[in-house]
């Protein structure tokens, strides 16, 4: 059996874009906005490529669920070095539980020994898909990974937790979600972009997978957060300390 | 209809985590809520007593099993899912513990999750941040569906103590899997206040330039009884350990006083401090975005200003 890694890729608003909220409060303006691969997913892909480069895997498959525009991001992933791309076509955004169900279908088909996802998508900031997938697949999960060491049939994963770092050992196959400090993704070079055009990209209609695109949550409204007001400027350290004392902020 | 809410306790084996009391406070804002806290541990007695003392808690359940010596989502989730049937809501804190665990529970219960609940608008209607807090969405869970959620702890004040809930020990409902094993943790123990609950936080950015320079902030923090935080750039450069990171991918905090020193104020950082009562910024660049949100700004060189402040305290 081919030693394969599947990497989940989500197309999101580029992290440098200052988002705008639609005046009717129905959502965030996406028309004409720069879209990119979710930054955590780039890190997941980079890790998969490094594992393959040190002969820890034979094939890296990227998978996305989303509208046809997602192919641009999949091509970027192929240019980074992924071998193959799977695109499950869904015009409506899928919630994490549905996304996890769809990914599970792909996993049943691809039989990977490792599934790498981002720890969260920076649009909806849900942070759910990996854990849900692991639950449905009845396999181990290791979230917020900052180090992954593969062994025979198992992996040691260092996780960034509130208290510091935690190391788990998980049997493979497993789902690992990655944190920012795991690695620094490579830049794509021009010849790679050309080569990527010839790599296989398979589109699967959502209906063909037999997963109902169930929506569980409804969006009532999207609003801007309360804005903080710009405050005062002080001249020097003495004035700062005096102001803080006056406001009673230096003693509890 | 009344709500019956199950809260998964976070703890280290002896002490109940601060986030749990904030989950209780969040749950208590749901009308007619009956609140149960569940403690999964090897020996749950000490933690259960602390949970039972939280005001608003009606009942504490304990599930004791050797596998719970360390919190493993793969071991806890099936047990909570097995218990979860009768509850209308299952909540946990939006800490790394809760973020790891709750979606696994939600999937086993075949339901969606509401992440980072910051306000309760109704038993099935919640507000939560998206796009790193640059938008707030109100979401609704269908009325006949169980709510699984994580609670953005910075949005709620901890429930007080003085309660006397019943503690009930129950058998582990299912045998946990063995495919996930704890190996080790490396947590820097410090006597400083905990970053997530401290009233005052002194935070440093890339401008500090070295781990040695960061010592200056520790000294200042100790004089103020403050916790120390850091920007991602400072953590990535190795000036501060990763558990000090504040922001979208670090800790979301709401101290009375936040002092940002040599931090530019990237949106991902600001997400972590939006709920701070007073923000102070010290930065040599008068155009730094941090000044747009700071209540008190001081333009200047931190290497001059920080020692001056320390002397004045
Ligand atoms: C997906 C994603 C998630 C992220 N999550 C986080 C997060 O959780 N937290 C976070 O902090 N960042 C996060 N970031 C990174 C963020 O975008 C910024 O890069 C980071 O916050 C910058 O850190 P900084 O302000 O310390 O450094 P810089 O932006 O380099 O700012 C340094 C500041 O110090 C000032 N300065 C320099 N010298 C002095 C001096 N001598 N005295 C006074 N001031 C001086 C400069 O004027 C400047 O404003 C994330 C990024 C991404 C893409
Ligand atoms: N539509 C999608 N297609 C493929 N992978 C996804 C999709 N949505 C989420 N993921 C993966 O799941 C991770 C966590 O997403 P989320 O749970 O939405 O925060 C992302 O970083 C991706 O790796």
Structural domains in chain B plus CATH codes? 3-170 (3.40.50.620), 200-312 (3.40.50.1220)
φ and ψ of B48, to 5 deg: -60, -40
Q: What is the pLDDT of residues B90-104, one digit of tens each?
A: 999 999 999 999 999
Provide mean pLDDT across the span A90-103. Answer: 95
Structural domains in chain A plus CATH codes? 4-246 (3.40.50.620)
Chain-centre distance of CA B199, in angstroms?
14
Q: What is the pLDDT of residues B224-274, one digit of tens each?
A: 999 999 999 999 999 999 999 999 888 999 999 999 999 999 989 999 999
Cα(A118) to centroid of ligand 2, in Å? 7
Q: What is the pLDDT of residues B185-228, one digit of tens each?
A: 987 767 788 898 899 999 999 999 999 999 999 999 999 999 99
> Which 5-44 residues of chain B touch chain A by CB within 8 A?
none
Provide mean pLDDT across the span A33-37. Answer: 97
Residue A164 contacts residue A49 (beta carbons within 8 Å): no
Q: How far is A114 from chain B (nearest CA, A)?
A: 14
pLDDT the model gives residue B187: 76
Q: Which of B209, B204, B163 is nearest to B57 (CA)?
A: B163
Both tokens of A178, joined, read 């990655």
* pLDDT band of A251, cuts 50, 70, 90: confident
Q: What is the pLDDT of residues B3-43, one digit of tens each?
A: 999 999 999 999 999 999 999 999 999 989 999 999 999 99
Q: Which of A37, A118, A131, A204 to mutate to test the pocket of ligand 2 (most atoms within 8 A of CB)?
A: A118
Beta-bridge mates of residue B6:
B36, B90
List alpha helices for A126-248, DSSP H.
129-137, 190-196, 237-246
Tokens 């060491």 belong to A149
Q: Which of B163, B159, B157 is nearest to B53 (CA)?
A: B163
pTM, two decimal places: 0.94
Task: Give the C-alpha separation, A71 to A73, whole Å.
Answer: 5
Q: For ligand 1, which residues put their CB under 6 angstroms from it?
A: A 15, 39, 122; B 205-207, 231-234, 245-250, 262-264, 266, 268-269, 272, 283-285, 288, 301-303
Establish if A251 touches chain B: CB-CB under 8 angstroms.
no
Q: How far is B28 from chain A (nearest CA, A)?
A: 22
pLDDT the model gives residue A123: 96
Q: How far is B243 from chain A (nearest CA, A)?
A: 5
Establish if B294 touches chain A: CB-CB under 8 angstroms.
yes
By alpha-carbon position, which residue is closest to atom 45 of ligand 1? Answer: B262
A123, A135, A174 member nearest B107 (Cβ): A135
* pLDDT band of A215, cuts 50, 70, 90: low
* pLDDT band of B1, cuts 50, 70, 90: low
Exposure letters B125-151 (e unless 16+ CB within 10 A, then b):
bbbbbbbbbbbbbbbbbeeebbbbbbb
Which one-letter DSSP state was computed for residue B30? S
By alpha-carbon position, which residue is closest to atom 29 of ligand 1? Answer: B264
Task: Give the C-alpha separation, B169 to A70, whole Å.
Answer: 51
Residues 6+ apart with CB under 8 A from A197: A75
């Amino acid at each position: 059996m081919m030693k394969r890694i599947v990497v989940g890729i989500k197309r999101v608003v580029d992290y440098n874009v200052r988002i705008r909220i639609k005046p009717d409060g129905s959502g965030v303006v996406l028309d004409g906005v720069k879209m990119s691969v979710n930054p955590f997913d780039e890190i997941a892909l980079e890790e998969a490529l490094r594992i393959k480069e040190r002969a820890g895997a034979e094939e890296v498959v990227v998978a996305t669920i989303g509208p046809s525009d997602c192919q641009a991001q999949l091509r970027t992933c192929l240019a980074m070095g992924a071998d193959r791309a799977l695109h499950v076509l869904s015009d409506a955004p899928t919630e994490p539980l549905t996304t996890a169900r769809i990914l599970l279908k792909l996993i049943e088909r691809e039989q990977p020994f490792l599934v790498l996802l981002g720890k969260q998508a920076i649009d909806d900031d849900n942070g759910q898909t990996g854990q849900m997938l692991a639950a449905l697949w009845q396999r181990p999960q290791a979230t917020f990974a900052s180090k992954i060491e593969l062994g025979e049939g198992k992996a040691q994963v260092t996780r960034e937790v509130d208290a510091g770092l935690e190391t788990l050992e998980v049997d493979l196959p497993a789902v690992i979600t990655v944190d920012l400090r795991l690695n620094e993704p490579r830049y794509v070079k021009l010849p790679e972009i050309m080569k990527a055009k010839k790599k296989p990209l398979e589109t699967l209609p959502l209906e063909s997978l037999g997963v109902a695109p169930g929506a569980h949550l409804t969006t009532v409204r999207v609003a801007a957060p309360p804005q903080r007001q710009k405050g005062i400027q002080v001249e020097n350290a003495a004035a700062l300390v005096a102001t803080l004392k006056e406001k009673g902020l230096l003693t509890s | 209809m009344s709500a019956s809410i199950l809260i998964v306790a976070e703890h280290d084996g002896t002490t109940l985590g601060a986030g749990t009391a904030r989950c209780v406070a969040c749950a208590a804002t749901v009308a007619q809520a009956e609140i149960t806290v569940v403690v999964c541990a090897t020996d749950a007695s000490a933690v259960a007593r602390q949970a039972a003392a939280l005001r608003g808690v009606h009942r504490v359940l304990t599930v004791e099993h050797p596998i719970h010596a360390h919190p493993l989502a793969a071991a806890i989730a099936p047990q909570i899912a097995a218990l979860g049937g009768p509850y209308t809501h299952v909540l946990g804190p939006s800490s790394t513990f809760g973020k790891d665990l709750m979606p696994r529970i939600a999937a086993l219960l075949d339901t969606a999750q509401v992440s980072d609940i910051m306000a309760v608008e109704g038993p099935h209607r919640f507000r939560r941040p998206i796009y790193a807090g640059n938008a707030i969405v109100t979401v609704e869970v269908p009325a006949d569906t169980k709510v699984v959620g994580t609670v953005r702890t910075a949005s709620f004040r901890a429930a007080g103590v003085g309660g006397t809930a019943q503690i009930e020990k129950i058998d582990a409902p299912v045998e946990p899997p063995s495919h996930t094993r704890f190996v080790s943790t490396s947590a820097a123990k410090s006597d400083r206040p905990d970053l997530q609950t401290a009233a005052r936080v002194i935070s440093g950015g890339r401008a500090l330039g070295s781990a040695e320079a960061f010592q200056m902030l520790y000294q200042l923090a100790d004089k103020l009884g403050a916790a120390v935080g850091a920007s991602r750039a400072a953590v990535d450069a190795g000036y501060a350990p990763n558990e000090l990171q504040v922001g979208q991918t670090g800790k979301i905090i709401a101290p009375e006083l936040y002092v940002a020193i040599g931090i530019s104020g990237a949106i991902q950082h600001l997400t972590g401090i939006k709920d701070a009562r007073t923000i102070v910024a010290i930065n040599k660049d008068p155009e730094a975005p941090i000044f747009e949100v700071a209540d008190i700004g001081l333009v200047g060189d931190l290497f001059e200003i920080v020692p001056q402040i320390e002397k004045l305290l």
